[in-house]
Amino acid sequence: MTTKVVVIGGGWAGCGAAVAAAKAGAEVTLIERTDDLLGTGISGGYMNNNGRFTAAEEAKALGGGDLFEMSDSVTMHTDVEIPGHKHGTMYSAIEIVPKTREVVEAAGVDVAFETRISKVEKVEDESEGTRILSVSTKEGETFTGDVFVDCTGSSGGMPNCIKYGHGCCMCILRCPTFGGRVSPAVEAGAKRLLRSRPGGFGTFSGAIEVHKDSISPAIRQELEKKGSVVIPLPKKFVDETKLYIKSCVQYSLKEFAENIVLIHNGFAKVVAPFFPIHRLRQVKGFEEARIEEPLAGGRGNSVRYISMVHRDNTMQVKGFANLFCGGETGGPIIGHTEACVTGVLAGHNAVRYGLSKELIELPRSLAIGDFVAHVREQMQTEEGLSRGYTFAGSTYFYDQMKPLGLYTTDKAAIRKRVEELGFSGIFSQSLV
């Protein structure tokens, strides 16, 4: 007996879900509206900082660390420190995408590129909730499955960036070319949740990429050697309001307003949601700076957390029978690590549901289990929805993860913790 799982969205969460479902023995189709995988991960890079180290090592011990092991293999820098963050690593934004494709293809996942769903066929099940039958494109291509996983994220669609942001910033999501994101959960009737910010809804992606050759040789050489550089800003350019509108709350420290914080992922990544280019060029060393991504990063950035849904601790969408979710679809969670671990849990449980097996809810004595449960609890209130949650900082890391003793960089202790709970390798086991 097997089950057919359809994952929509090929970012970190979707790739994690697809690989996990395939390892569990399912026939898996991964639908991606653009021509490549990894979504915003294409322009990411910073991993293993603070509690993300613990979460990644837990995922490996649980048998769901395929993408973390892959990203480790293309690491450019280790022990990268920036204000408030320790023992981080930087992966190559250039190498990460082909390596991701290798992992997904090796798992036997069938990937449908340039495929944007526009319609969801469903039936109402009085006992279990809404059941998805299929998703289809406007061209009429239909994908049927036993279980579906929504990993479409929470950003995208030009109208959304116009309404909630500063207009289309021409980012890596490429909505004008491939069409905006469509969430099958929302399309099928799930309540759409928005994260609030001062003055509106949605928050801005937290970084822009500058071409390395457009900054001074001295800064570039230091960046390539160390993996990070912190450059004080003239007081006239300090803008603390940016700290409260950015998605990446782990970087909402005054140091990120008072300095240009650069990290190296093959590009020079400025940890700021946007920076007017005419002002950036007035900073010593940036006189000829050129922004690579997003192309309008001098004015704005992509707007996120405008399409989330309620779910339980197994990542099953509330009110639905055979629909799970991962990544930002499942709440205001921040980061590649966070997207990946929730995607893995969703993908594995999708197979369990399809085979009528008991779903896994990770215990709160694990960092991943506590994170999934904590975010779900916080999503029940407007105040909780207005925050962002990450292993790397802000309220979860400092007020929850560390006080509970869940944060550690001791790999042996992490493996032992997972083993004592009886969960070692559980995501690597075939259920068929």
Confidence of residue 125 (pLDDT cuts 50, 70, 90): confident
Q: What pLDDT shows up at residue 43?
A: 86
Is the pLDDT at 2 greater than 90? The verdict is no
Q: Contact 291/98 with Cβ under 8 angstroms?
A: no
Q: What is the mean pLDDT of residues 271-292?
A: 96
- Per-chain mean pLDDT for the chain: 96
Q: What is the pLDDT of residues 166-194, one digit of tens each?
A: 999 999 999 999 999 999 999 999 999 99
Confidence of residue 44 (pLDDT cuts 50, 70, 90): confident
Return d(Cα 288, Cα 391) in angstroms, integer: 36
Give the chain's radius of gyration (CA, Å). 20
Q: CA-CA-CA-CA torsion for 173, 115, 350, 192, nearest 10 degrees?
A: 50
Q: What pLDDT shows up at residue 126?
A: 81
What's this model's pTM, rounded to 2 decimal places?
0.97
Tokens of 427: 């995501």
Q: What is the pLDDT of residues 319-328, one digit of tens each?
A: 999 999 999 9
Return d(Cα 310, Cα 211) in angstroms, integer: 39
Closest CA to 319 of 175, 131, 162: 131
Q: What is the pLDDT of residues 56-100, one digit of tens each?
A: 999 999 999 999 999 999 999 999 999 999 999 999 999 999 999
Per DSSP, which regions of 60-167 are E strands? Answer: 75-82, 85-91, 110-112, 117-125, 129-137, 142-144, 147-150
Closest CA to 394 of 159, 52, 74, 101: 52
Residue ranges of alpha helices (H) inside 86-125 are 96-106
Q: What pLDDT shows up at residue 127?
A: 84
Q: Which residue has the tokens 């998605």?
A: 247
Q: Which domains does the chain have, with CATH numbers?
A: 4-199+304-428 (3.50.50.60), 204-301 (no CATH)
